[in-house]
Amino acid sequence: MDLYEHQARELFARYGVLVPDAEVADTPREARDAAERLGGRVVVKAQVKTGGRGKAGGVKLAVDPAAAELTARQILGMDIKGHTVRKVMLAQPVGIETEFYVSYVLDRTAGRFLAIASAEGGMDIEEVAATRPRAVARIPVDPDEGVTASKAAKIAAAAGLPPEVAPVLQQLWQVLTQEDALLVEVNPLVRCTDGRILALDGKVTVDDNARFRQARWGAYASDQQTDPLEAAATAKGLNYVKLDGEVGIIGNGAGLVMSTLDVVAGCGARPANFLDIGGGASARVMADGLSVILSDPAVKSVLVNVFGGITACDSVADGIVQALESVRLTRPLVVRLDGNAAARGRAILDDRAHPLVHQATTMDSAARRAAQLALTV
C-alpha cells in the first residue's frame, strides 16, 4: 500500500525526522482556516500518489490565507496523471540552503535493502542517475546489520551528504523496518538556512503482507482515495493496478505481466496498467479486463500476452473473440499467444479477422508492435 505524503510525514515525525508543520484540507475553506493556523504563508500541495505534481501545477506557494483558499480551489479536483486531487496539504515554508535525496528500497533479487542517496535532491532522481550516474550513490544494506551510526556515516560520505544527515538516515531506517515498509524516500531532504535537516516530501510503500501486525494501517487504508478504474476492476474481481502509461497490459500470471511491463518500457512506451487474469481467461474475464482498460482515456493500444498452460491458448482466443461481441474495441489490440494450443488459438483470431486485432508470435515483437501503435496514434 502506498501512503500519501501527509501520511508518510506523520510516520517520519513519529521516528524523530523533522518535518515542517502542516495540515490537510478537503475544501478551500478548510485550506484557508489551516493557513491561518499555520501563520498565513503556506505551500499548498496536492495529495496524490504520483510524481510530477509540481510540473502539473499541484504545488503552489500561497502568501496569505485568502490566497491559500484560492489556490486550494484551483488544485482540488485537478487530474494529475490520471489521479484526481481530493485533498491538499498546507505546509509552512522553510528557508532552504541545500537539497538532498535519500531512500531505502527492497532489493528482492539480492535479498537485501539498498540505500540510494544523492547530494542533488529536489529534482527527478532518474534524470540525475541517467545524466550524472556518479552523483547517485547506491549502498547495499544487510538487513541483519541494519543502518548503524557507522553505516549511516558511510552512506552519507558516499553520496557527498553532510555528516549531520547521518542521524536522519538512521531514523528513516527505523521507519522502514518498524513499519514493514518496502520503500522509504525523501526528496528533498533539506538543510535549512538555520541549520536544521528537514524532510519536505516523503514517499512510503508498506508491505500488505504485514497488515496483520500493523493495527494502525487501518486508518491509512480508510483514507485511501481509490482510483475509479481500480475500484471498477476490484468490483469485477480483477487484479488490476493503474499506471501512468499508454499501453494497456493483460497477462496470465504476475511474473509474466511484470516481464511484459518491462519489455514494453524497453520499447520506449509506458505501461498503462498491471492486469493479471491468472488462469481464468474466459470470455467474461477478457470482456471485463478489456472494458476496464479501454475505459482509461490514456490507453492508446492494448497488449494481451498469454502463455498457455492449464488454460489453453485456444480457450483464451475464444474468450477474446466472445469479448469482442460485448466490448466495442476502439483501440488496437495486440495478442501474443504461446504454449498449450497456441497454433489453434492464433487460427481462431485469424478467422475472426477483426481489423483492430494484431497478432505477434514473441513477447518482444508484440511489445514493439503495441508500443509502435500507441506512440503513433
What's the pLDDT score for residue 218? Answer: 57
**Whether residue 279 is found in the same domain as residue 238:** yes
**Whether residue 248 is found in the same domain as residue 361:** yes
Q: What percent of the chain has pLDDT over 90?
A: 64
Residue span of the structural domain in which 149 resides: 96-220
Q: What backbone torsions phi and psi does residue 241 show, to the nearest 5 degrees?
A: -130, 125
Over the stretch 18-65, which tens digit does the pLDDT of each residue have? Answer: 999 999 999 999 999 999 999 999 999 999 988 788 888 999 999 999
Specify the number of domains making up the chain. 3
C-alpha cell at 60: 503552489
| Catalytic residue ranges | 101, 185
What's the pLDDT score for residue 224? Answer: 53
**Domain contains 7:** no
Q: What is the average pLDDT score of the chain?
A: 89
**Whether residue 324 is found in the same domain as residue 350:** yes
Over the stretch 242-263, which tens digit does the pLDDT of each residue have? Answer: 888 999 999 988 888 999 999 9
Q: Which neighbouring-strand residues pair with 183? A: 105, 205
**Whether residue 127 is found in the same domain as residue 61:** no
Residue 132, domain CATH: 3.30.470.20
Model confidence at 148: pLDDT above 60: yes
Q: Which residue has the higher pLDDT, 219 or 360?
A: 360
Average pLDDT value for residue range 169-176: 96
When pLDDT is cut at 50, 70 and 90, the band that residue 139 belongs to is very high
**Whether residue 38 is found in the same domain as residue 73:** yes
Which residue, of 220, 249, 271, is where some domain finishes? 220
Over the stretch 325-340, which tens digit does the pLDDT of each residue have? Answer: 888 899 999 999 999 9
What's the pLDDT score for residue 279? Answer: 66
**Whether residue 108 is found in the same domain as residue 144:** yes
> Is residue 82 within 8 Å of 30, Cβ to Cβ?
no
When pLDDT is cut at 50, 70 and 90, the band that residue 121 belongs to is confident
**Whether residue 64 is found in the same domain as residue 105:** no
Query: Each residue of 234-268: b (16+ CB within 10 Å) or e?
Result: eeeebebebbbbbbbbbbbbeebbeebbebbeebe
C-alpha cell at 238: 480483477
Give the least confident one: 184-193, 237-246, 292-301.
237-246
Query: What does pTM read for this prediction?
Result: 0.63
**Is 329 buried (19+), middle (13-18) or exposed (0-12) by CB count in 10 A?**
middle
Q: Which residue has the higher pLDDT, 315 or 284?
A: 315
Query: What type of residue is 124?
Result: D
**Is 132 buried (19+), middle (13-18) or exposed (0-12) by CB count in 10 A?**
exposed
**Domain contains 5:** no
CA distance 268 to 266: 5
What's the pLDDT score for residue 61? Answer: 96
**Domain contains 322:** yes
**Domain contains 166:** yes
What's the pLDDT score for residue 287? Answer: 85
